Structure 1
Amino acid sequence: MNMSFVLREENRALLERVRDMIRNEIMPLEEEYQAEINKGDRWQYTERQAEILEGLKAKAKAAGLWNFWLTDSDKGFGLTTVEYAYFAEEMGKTPLGAEVFNCSAPDTGNMEVFERYGTETMKEQWFKPLLEGEIRSAYLMTEPDVASSDATNISMSCVRDGDDYVLNGEKWWSSGAGDPRCKVYIVMVKTGGDDLPKHKRQSMIVVPADTPGIEILRPMEVYGHDDAPHGHMHIRFTDVRVPAENILLGEGRGFEIAQGRLGPGRIHHCMRAIGQAEMALEQMCKRALQREAFGKKLAQLGANFDIIAECRMEIEMARLLCLKAAWYMDQGDARAAAPWISQIKVVAPRVALKVIDEAVQMFGGQGVSQDTPLAIAWTHVRTLRLADGPDAVHRRQVARAELKKHTQEKI
Structure 2
Amino acid sequence: MAWDFETDPGYQELLDWADAFVREEVEPLDLVLGDPYDKADPRYKALVRPLQEQVRERGLWACHLGPDLGGQGYGQVKLALLNEIIGRSRWAPSVFGCQAPDSGNAEILAHFGTPEQRERYLRPLLDGEISSSYSMTEPHGGADPTLFTTRAERDGDGWVINGEKWFSSNARHAEFLIVMAVTNPDVSAYQGMSMFIVPAGTPGLTTVRNVGVGPERDGGGSHGYLRYENVRVPAANLLGEEGGAFAIAQTRLGGGRIHHAMRTIAQVRAAFDMMCERAVSRETRFGPLAKLQMTQEKIADSWIEIEQFRLLVLRTAWLIDRHGDYRRVRKDIAAVKAAMPKVLHDVVQRAMHLHGALGVSNEMPFAGMLLGAEALGIADGPTEVHKITVARQLLRGHRPVEGLWPSAHLPTRRAAARERYAEALERAVGDE
In the alignment, the residues of structure 1 paired with residue 58 and residue 218 of structure 2 have an alpha-carbon distance, to the nearest angstrom, of 29
In the alignment, the residues of structure 2 paired with residue 226 and residue 76 of structure 1 have an alpha-carbon distance, to the nearest angstrom, of 37
The residue aligned with 2:408 is none
How much has 1:62 moved relative to structure 2?
Answer: 4.3
**1:319-360 per-position Cα deviation (integer Å, ceiling 9, x unaligned):** 000011111111213332100000000112210111111111
Give yes or no for the alignment of 1:91 onto 2:86: yes
Give yes or no for the alignment of 1:157 onto 2:148: no
The residue aligned with 1:232 is 223
* Among candidates 109, 132, 145, match of residue 114 of structure 1: 109
The residue aligned with 1:211 is 202
Give yes or no for contact 2:210–2:220 (8 Å, CA) kept in 1.
Answer: no
Counterpart of 1:178 in 2: which secondary structure? coil
How much has 1:295 moved relative to structure 2?
Answer: 4.9
Paired positions, count = 398
* Structure 1, 288-297 or 76-85: larger mean CA deviation: 288-297
Q: 1:261–1:114: structure 2 CA closer, same or farther, 3 Å change rule?
A: same
In the alignment, the residues of structure 1 paired with residue 137 and residue 350 of structure 2 have an alpha-carbon distance, to the nearest angstrom, of 32
How much has 1:25 moved relative to structure 2?
Answer: 1.1
CA RMSD of aligned residues (A): 2.4
* Structure 1, 382-391 or 222-231: larger mean CA deviation: 222-231
In the alignment, the residues of structure 1 paired with residue 265 and residue 219 of structure 2 have an alpha-carbon distance, to the nearest angstrom, of 24
Give yes or no for contact 1:45–1:229 (8 Å, CA) kept in 2.
Answer: no
Counterpart of 1:199 in 2: which secondary structure? coil
AA matched with 1:406: H
* Structure 1 unaligned regions, length at least 5: none
Counterpart of 1:205 in 2: which secondary structure? strand
Give yes or no for the alignment of 1:189 onto 2:174: no
* Structure 2 unaligned regions, length at least 5: 401-432
* Structure 1, 69-78 or 127-136: larger mean CA deviation: 69-78
The residue aligned with 1:396 is 388
Give yes or no for contact 2:145–2:189 (8 Å, CA) kept in 1.
Answer: no
Give yes or no for contact 2:63–2:74 (8 Å, CA) kept in 1.
Answer: yes
How much has 1:150 moved relative to structure 2?
Answer: 2.4
Give yes or no for contact 2:298–2:350 (8 Å, CA) kept in 1.
Answer: yes
* Among candidates 137, 140, 143, match of residue 145 of structure 1: 140
How much has 1:228 moved relative to structure 2?
Answer: 8.8
The residue aligned with 2:213 is 222
How much has 1:269 moved relative to structure 2?
Answer: 0.5
In the alignment, the residues of structure 1 paired with residue 86 and residue 196 of structure 2 have an alpha-carbon distance, to the nearest angstrom, of 30
AA matched with 1:170: E
* Among candidates 257, 261, 266, match of residue 266 of structure 1: 257
How much has 1:68 moved relative to structure 2?
Answer: 2.0
How much has 1:253 moved relative to structure 2?
Answer: 0.4
In the alignment, the residues of structure 1 paired with residue 392 and residue 195 of structure 2 have an alpha-carbon distance, to the nearest angstrom, of 28
How much has 1:12 moved relative to structure 2?
Answer: 1.1
Counterpart of 2:353 in 1: which secondary structure? helix
* Structure 1, 46-55 or 347-356: larger mean CA deviation: 46-55
The residue aligned with 2:63 is 68
The residue aligned with 2:165 is 171
AA matched with 1:27: E
In the alignment, the residues of structure 2 paired with residue 292 and residue 223 of structure 1 have an alpha-carbon distance, to the nearest angstrom, of 33
The residue aligned with 1:10 is 10
* Structure 1, 58-67 or 16-25: larger mean CA deviation: 58-67
In the alignment, the residues of structure 1 paired with residue 341 and residue 185 of structure 2 have an alpha-carbon distance, to the nearest angstrom, of 37
In the alignment, the residues of structure 1 paired with residue 205 and residue 263 of structure 2 have an alpha-carbon distance, to the nearest angstrom, of 32
How much has 1:17 moved relative to structure 2?
Answer: 1.0
Give yes or no for the alignment of 1:338 onto 2:333: no
The residue aligned with 1:79 is 74
Q: 1:359–1:228: structure 2 CA closer, same or farther, 3 Å change rule?
A: farther
Give yes or no for contact 2:59–2:72 (8 Å, CA) kept in 1.
Answer: no
* Among candidates 320, 323, 335, match of residue 314 of structure 2: 323
Give yes or no for contact 1:5–1:83 (8 Å, CA) kept in 2.
Answer: no
In the alignment, the residues of structure 2 paired with residue 65 and residue 8 of structure 1 have an alpha-carbon distance, to the nearest angstrom, of 16
**1:181-219 per-position Cα deviation (integer Å, ceiling 9, x unaligned):** x2011111100123x133111111111112111111112
Percent identity over the alignment is 38
How much has 1:55 moved relative to structure 2?
Answer: 4.2
AA matched with 1:401: Q
In the alignment, the residues of structure 2 paired with residue 99 and residue 287 of structure 1 have an alpha-carbon distance, to the nearest angstrom, of 31
How much has 1:313 moved relative to structure 2?
Answer: 0.8
The TM-score with structure 2 as length reference comes to 0.86
In the alignment, the residues of structure 1 paired with residue 107 and residue 220 of structure 2 have an alpha-carbon distance, to the nearest angstrom, of 24
Q: Whose radius of gyration is greater, 1 or 2? A: 2
The residue aligned with 2:31 is 31
Give yes or no for contact 1:44–1:229 (8 Å, CA) kept in 2.
Answer: no
The residue aligned with 1:280 is 271
AA matched with 2:161: L
How much has 1:53 moved relative to structure 2?
Answer: 3.5
The residue aligned with 2:410 is none
Q: 1:72–1:132: structure 2 CA closer, same or farther, 3 Å change rule?
A: closer
**1:92-123 per-position Cα deviation (integer Å, ceiling 9, x unaligned):** 11111211111110011100111000011111
In the alignment, the residues of structure 2 paired with residue 161 and residue 93 of structure 1 have an alpha-carbon distance, to the nearest angstrom, of 47
Give yes or no for contact 2:210–2:222 (8 Å, CA) kept in 1.
Answer: yes
**1:216-239 per-position Cα deviation (integer Å, ceiling 9, x unaligned):** 111222222269977111111111
In the alignment, the residues of structure 1 paired with residue 220 and residue 55 of structure 2 have an alpha-carbon distance, to the nearest angstrom, of 22
The TM-score with structure 1 as length reference comes to 0.90
The residue aligned with 1:128 is 123
**1:232-252 per-position Cα deviation (integer Å, ceiling 9, x unaligned):** 111111111011111122211
Give yes or no for contact 1:152–1:202 (8 Å, CA) kept in 2.
Answer: no
**1:285-326 per-position Cα deviation (integer Å, ceiling 9, x unaligned):** 112222223252222235111101111110000000001111
